[in-house]
Structure 1
Amino acid sequence: MELAHVLGLVRDVPDHPQPGVLFRDVTPVLADAEAFATIATELASLVGEADVVVGVEARGFLLGAAVALVAGTGIVPVRKAGKLPRVAGSRTYELEYGTATLELPADVIAPGARAFVVDDVLATGGTAAAASALLAGAGVDVVGFGVLLELTALGGRDALAPIPVHALLTV
């Protein structure tokens, strides 16, 4: 399947989760078996020598699990606060429309491990930078960040420098 077809499956949802925000809904991409297989394979080809894939809550879990399966690695979730029984660390960050906190589960990634982080959309980079800083704080080397869709006008890639950012689609 062509990535242009995958892009055509992404829905624009105006004023969600608040007025003035244009939400990019990738749910139709995930629901389409051929599109889902295409993006999992494409992102897995970028994992390289990473020891583990890290999926960022929540759609990053879905993508990350598929990518890890194809790439032959394990998957570790970075969760919203309060969801994990044991926490290695947490990081609070700014969103376009508020704040949030991410947590890393304890005792699942050893210091020195190489991680490829996966999420659905890269917007301002707040979530991506928080996840990467959380991993770095645990001694994990973030070797790349892969997303299905990058909203280039919001400059999120800059928040991750010098981590390599790989976006399958851009708008």
Structure 2
Amino acid sequence: MFAEENGLKGDPRLQAISQAIRVVPHFPIHGIMFQDITTLLLDHKAFKDTVDIFVDRYRDTHISVVAGIEARGFMFGPSIALGIGAKFVPLRKPRKLPGEVISEKYALEYGTDCLELHVGAVQPGERAIIIDDLVATGGTMSAGVKLLERVGAEVVECACVIGVPDVKGQCRRIGKPLYVLVEPRKADKCYPD
């Protein structure tokens, strides 16, 4: 579900968030229109509005875990967790977490990867959301859902700042409701690769 479909239609914050995202053509490989959220992070108001929209959505939902997908989910997840009184749990790439982990492999638009979760970071029955910057194929989100469900968490929803226009079709792959703030921007300028 896009934020505009959920009571935020015409909200000027969404346009400002979208405009704060830079598009870098052909990164990391030819044909990919990379949605660079680092420029959003440089815009204090747009960054705060992004976090505030998520906090408003999840504040009274009894979420105890905000799981952020490496690496850009780490930019939003901790602030959202603090805002709703939940813990932040990183879902990391292989060999980044010390101690015992569980792993889940997944396919990307342009390859394969794996996510890991610390054993014991999430308890059975905890209510969780998963946050990332962008969802395209749904593979990364799906892997995050599988990891959390393997340890007994209830994944309430997945959320991201940017979602491809046909993102509703990805909800079936993810298997959970998906909340998206904005669609990807098209390149209005060329940025060097």
> Structure 2 residue aligned with 1:83, among 53, 78, 96?
96
Q: 2:106: which partner in 1?
A: 93
- Checking the alignment, whether the CA contact within 8 Å between 2:139 and 2:174 is kept in structure 1 is no
Residues 3-50 of structure 1 show CA distances to partners (whole Å, capped at 9, x for unaligned) of 101101111111111111111111111121111111111111222221
Structure 1 residue 156: Cα displacement: 3.0
Cα distance, 1:164 vs. partner?
1.4
Query: Alignment partner of 1:152: what SS?
Result: coil
Structure-1 residue corresponding to 2:49: 38
CA contact (8 A) 2:161 2:181 kept: yes
In the alignment, the residues of structure 1 paired with residue 28 and residue 170 of structure 2 have an alpha-carbon distance, to the nearest angstrom, of: 19
CA contact (8 A) 2:64 2:85 kept: no
Q: How does 1:54-133 map to 2 (within 5 A)?
A: 54-133=67-146
Q: Provide the C-alpha distance between the structure 1 equivalents of 2:95 and 2:104, rounded to a whole number of angstroms.
A: 12
Give the number of aligned pairs.
170
Structure of greater relative contact order (alpha carbons < 8 Å, 6+ residues apart)? 2
Q: Secondary structure at the match of 2:89?
A: strand
Between the aligned partners of 1:49 and 1:86, the Cα distance in structure 2 is: 29
Maintained 8 Å contact 1:15/1:23: yes
Amino acid at match of 1:159: R
Q: Distance in 1 between matches of 2:100 and 2:180?
A: 29
2:188 aligned partner: none
Coordinate RMSD, CA, aligned: 1.4
The 8 Å contact of residues 125 and 158 in structure 1, kept in 2 or not, is answered as no
Q: TM-score, normalised by structure 1?
A: 0.94
- Which structure's residues are more often strand, by fraction? 1
Separation in structure 1 between the aligned mates of residue 166 and residue 26 of structure 2, nearest angstrom: 18
TM-score, length-scaled by structure 2: 0.83
Q: Structure 2: any 5+ residue segments left out of the alignment?
A: 1-11, 185-193
Unaligned runs of at least 5 residues, structure 1? none
Query: Identity of aligned pairs, percent?
Result: 36
AA partner of residue 27 (structure 1): T
1 CA distance for matches of 2:20 and 2:96? 31
Q: Bigger radius of gyration, 1 or 2?
A: 2
Kindly provide the amino acid, as one letter, of the partner of residue 99 in structure 1.
Answer: T
Task: Give 1:18's aligned residue.
Answer: 29
Q: 1:106 to 1:90 in 2, by over 3 A?
A: same
Of 171, 181, 191, the match for 1:157: 171
Q: Distance in 1 between matches of 2:108 and 2:132?
A: 15
Indicate conservation of the 8 Å contact 1:122/1:157, yes or no: no
**Which amino acid is 2:136 matched to?**
A
Partner of 1:53: 66
